[in-house]
């Protein structure tokens, strides 16, 4: 009799557990699901329709967003800025991380200090001087301005990540190569880099993602033709004639596409990367 | 001789970092610091004038917007972080039960943290909307009157906190989960054999061992919450009636709505100082607690 009661108790526990898990994932995913779903609704269906499914599936919002709000150009801008920033950040990060890990650990302390100080700063505090400085040096293209601006928060965390990857490689590998006549930089490029390639890829994805998702520097430093997609997204709220929800959701769905791709293609790295980024970023 | 050569390469390789740091970090920071001592209104077209510490006087005076912003920010941080920790701990304990499920679910739970904050903000703003949003749709369906979440001061603050909770709780949960999973399970088993209930195990074994991870994560999360800008600005612009006017938003207004550059620069440094002092204080307090 007692054993039967115990089994029932366990089954009840199992059911509660799975219900909670489903509720949890549902709560987390629903808003995003709703946005993506609504992006496929014609504008008329936006008000008063069930949030769970759409009756009149339509892709007109995407077409309209591209036509009326220049979303295609915005995507192009975001790509340019993110790729350019990625190039600059990886260049600095790889060289610095290797140097810090293998060659000059004293500077590492300085790096940690600056990372800490940067953590104390609200991004707005950094945006202000950058805005003024770049506004004066108008010769630099807004693309370049944004590529540089995003380095502020991307470089420290990238160095930290890559340094971790380099530390995992036993230095005996490079040392034996150098005994055989290889130079230090040769060791870096021919031995270490190939070994940390997966780590570099994850770091690169994070850097790209951060630059792509960024809004504040984007809205302050970009001009009308160079607006990244995040700025266009924000523009819908203040648009004359009211908010075009359909197009806004379409733009939003496009904006989160890189995140989704990263998450789907490289699940394990996605989890690791985002959590590390959140801790150190 | 080999050592000297190594030293050289090290210096060369680190040049890009120093260039980056000087150009993108040091110069803007120094510029901002110096600017704090000038009065410069960008819209008036008048050149800047040196005013010493008058900007700082203005910001720290009783009638300044700083105090209200600090209060709002304090409420926001307190509300958001405490909810995130309580829910996060609960979720971590839930996930502890089955590792495979936890593994599968991790990726999904982190999505809000990885999507662009501006999208999250606008998405939730739309969710809260009385006519378009699904929340009010549900309320209507259940027979309740529609609620306008973002137009009432208290409700707006709570609504904004909810968004931060939605985004960040999974992260807190995963950090706590990782800490919990690194526990020696035999300790738990042993105490259960000795007759301890689940609650007692939790209170006297789990919590103390977790306390270090909790303190560090609390600190990091509080600092980050203090700096929140995009979410709040996109949802409420700091309103209604300054109810969500956190420090970052206040600073943004001074700089990019009123264009008082000198005052904004000074304000930035006041903010940085507040964060620095707060962090040092909290770290000292945490360390003292650990010794005690």
pLDDT score of B74 more than 60:
yes
pLDDT score of A4 more than 70:
no
Q: Cα(first)–Cα(last) distance of chain A, in Å?
A: 56
Q: Which one has a higher pLDDT value, B241 or B291?
A: B241
* Tokens of residue A4, six digits: 């039967």
ipTM score for this prediction: 0.89
CA of A1 vs chain B CAs: smallest distance (Å): 23
CA of B93 vs chain A CAs: smallest distance (Å): 11
Q: Output the pLDDT for position A81.
A: 96
Average pLDDT over residues B228-251: 90
> Which residues in chain A have Cβ-Cβ distances shorter than 8 Å to B111?
28-29, 32, 259-260, 263
Q: Cα(first)–Cα(last) distance of chain B, in Å?
A: 52
Q: Output the pLDDT for position A173.
A: 82
- Work out the percent of chain A whose per-residue pLDDT is above 70: 95
The number of angstroms, rounded, from the C-alpha of A25 to the middle of its chain's C-alpha atoms is 21
Q: Do A271 and B107 touch (CB under 8 A)?
A: yes
- Interchain contact B48–A (C-beta under 8 A): no
Q: Output the pLDDT for position A255.
A: 95
pLDDT tens string B95-121: 988 888 888 888 889 999 999 999 999
Q: Output the pLDDT for position A79.
A: 96
- Work out the percent of chain B whose per-residue pLDDT is above 70: 90
Across the interface, of B107, B127, B131, the residue whose CB is closest to A267 is B107
Q: Output the pLDDT for position B52.
A: 84
Q: Output the pLDDT for position B2.
A: 46
Across the interface, of A29, A99, A120, the residue whose CB is closest to B13 is A99
Q: Which one has a higher pLDDT value, B233 or B52?
A: B233
> Which residues in chain B have Cβ-Cβ distances shorter than 8 Å to A127?
255
> Which residues in chain B have Cβ-Cβ distances shorter than 8 Å to A99?
9-10, 13-14, 17
Which ranges in chain A belong to alpha helices (H)?
Answer: 2-39, 60-69, 71-98, 105-119, 123-136, 142-168, 171-179, 184-187, 193-213, 216-221, 229-235, 245-255, 257-265, 267-280
- At B41, give phi and psi (nearest 5°): -100, 115
> Which residues in chain A have Cβ-Cβ distances shorter than 8 Å to B124?
31
CA of A31 vs chain B CAs: smallest distance (Å): 7
Q: Which residue of A has its CA nearest to B218?
A: A279
Q: Which range, A194-198, B119-123, B235-239, has the best average confidence (pLDDT)?
A: B119-123
pLDDT tens string B170-217: 999 999 888 888 776 666 677 777 776 767 777 777 777 778 788 888
Residue pair A230/A258 in contact (Cβ under 8 Å)? The answer is: no
Q: Which one has a higher pLDDT value, B192 or A11?
A: A11
Residue pair B70/B267 in contact (Cβ under 8 Å)? The answer is: no
Q: Output the pLDDT for position A74.
A: 93
Q: Do B134 and A51 touch (CB under 8 A)?
A: yes
DSSP A226: G
Q: Output the pLDDT for position B290.
A: 60
Q: Output the pLDDT for position B5.
A: 53
Which ranges in chain B belong to alpha helices (H)?
Answer: 2-13, 15-20, 27-35, 54-60, 65-95, 99-109, 111-114, 117-128, 134-141, 153-181, 185-193, 198-201, 207-226, 230-236, 247-256, 261-291
Average pLDDT across chain A, whole number = 85
Give the separation between CA A127 and CA A135, rounded to whole angstroms. 12
Residue pair A72/A136 in contact (Cβ under 8 Å)? The answer is: no
Q: Do A256 and B115 touch (CB under 8 A)?
A: yes
Residue with tokens 């699904």: B134
Give the separation between CA A74 and CA A235, rounded to whole angstroms. 12
């Amino acid at each position: 009799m007692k054993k039967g009661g115990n089994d029932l108790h366990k089954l009840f526990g199992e059911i509660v557990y799975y219900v909670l898990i489903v509720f949890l994932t549902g709560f987390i995913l629903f808003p995003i699901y709703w946005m993506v779903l609504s992006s496929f609704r014609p504008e008329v269906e936006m008000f008063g329709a069930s949030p769970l499914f759409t009756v009149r599936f339509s892709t007109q919002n995407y077409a309209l967003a591209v036509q009326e709000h220049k979303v295609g150009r915005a995507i192009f801008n975001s790509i340019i800025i993110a790729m350019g920033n990625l190039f600059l950040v990886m260049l600095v990060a790889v060289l610095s991380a290797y140097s810090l890990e293998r060659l000059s650990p004293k500077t590492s302390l300085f790096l940690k200090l600056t990372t800490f100080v940067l953590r104390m700063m609200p991004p707005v505090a950094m945006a202000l001087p950058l805005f003024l400085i770049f506004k004066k040096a108008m010769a630099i293209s807004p693309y370049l301005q944004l590529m540089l601006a995003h380095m502020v928060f991307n470089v420290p965390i990238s160095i930290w990540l890559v340094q971790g990857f380099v530390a995992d490689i036993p230095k005996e590998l490079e040392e034996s190569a150098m005994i055989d006549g290889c130079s230090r930089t040769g060791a870096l490029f021919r031995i270490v880099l190939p070994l940390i390639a997966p780590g570099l890829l994850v770091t690169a994805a994070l850097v790209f993602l951060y630059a792509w998702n960024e809004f504040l520097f984007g809205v302050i430093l970009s001009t009308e033709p160079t607006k990244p997609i995040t700025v266009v997204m924000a523009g819908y709220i203040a648009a004359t004639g009211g908010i075009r929800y359909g197009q806004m959701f379409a733009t939003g769905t496009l904006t989160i596409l890189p995140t989704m791709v990263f998450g789907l293609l490289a699940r394990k790295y996605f989890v690791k990367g985002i959590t590390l980024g959140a801790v150190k970023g | 001789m080999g050592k000297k050569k190594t030293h050289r390469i090290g210096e060369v390789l680190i040049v890009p970092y120093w260039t980056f740091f000087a150009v993108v970090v040091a110069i803007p920071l120094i510029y901002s610091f110096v600017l704090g001592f000038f009065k410069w209104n960008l819209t008036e077209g008048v050149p800047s004038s040196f005013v010493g510490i008058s900007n700082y006087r203005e910001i720290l005076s009783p009638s300044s917007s700083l105090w209200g912003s600090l209060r709002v920010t304090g409420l926001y941080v307190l509300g958001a972080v405490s909810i995130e920790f309580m829910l996060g701990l609960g979720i971590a304990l839930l996930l502890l039960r089955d590792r495979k499920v936890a593994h599968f679910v991790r990726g999904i739970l982190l999505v809000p943290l990885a999507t662009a904050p501006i999208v999250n903000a606008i998405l939730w703003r739309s969710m809260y909307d009385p006519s378009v949003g699904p929340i009010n749709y549900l309320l209507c369906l259940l027979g309740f009157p529609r609620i306008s979440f973002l137009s009432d001061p208290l409700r707006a603050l709570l609504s904004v906190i909810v968004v931060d909770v939605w985004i960040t709780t999974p992260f807190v949960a995963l950090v706590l989960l990782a800490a919990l999973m690194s526990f020696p399970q035999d300790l738990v088993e042993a105490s259960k054999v000795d007759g301890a209930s689940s609650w007692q195990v939790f209170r006297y074994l789990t919590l103390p061992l977790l306390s270090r991870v909790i303190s560090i994560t609390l600190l990091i999360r509080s600092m980050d919450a203090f700096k929140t800008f995009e979410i709040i600005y996109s949802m409420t612009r700091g309103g209604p009636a300054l109810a969500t006017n956190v420090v970052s938003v206040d600073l943004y207004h001074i700089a990019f709505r009123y264009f008082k550059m000198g005052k904004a620069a000074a304000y930035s440094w006041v903010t940085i100082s507040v964060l620095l002092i707060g962090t040092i204080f909290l770290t000292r307090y945490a360390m003292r607690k650990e010794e005690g």
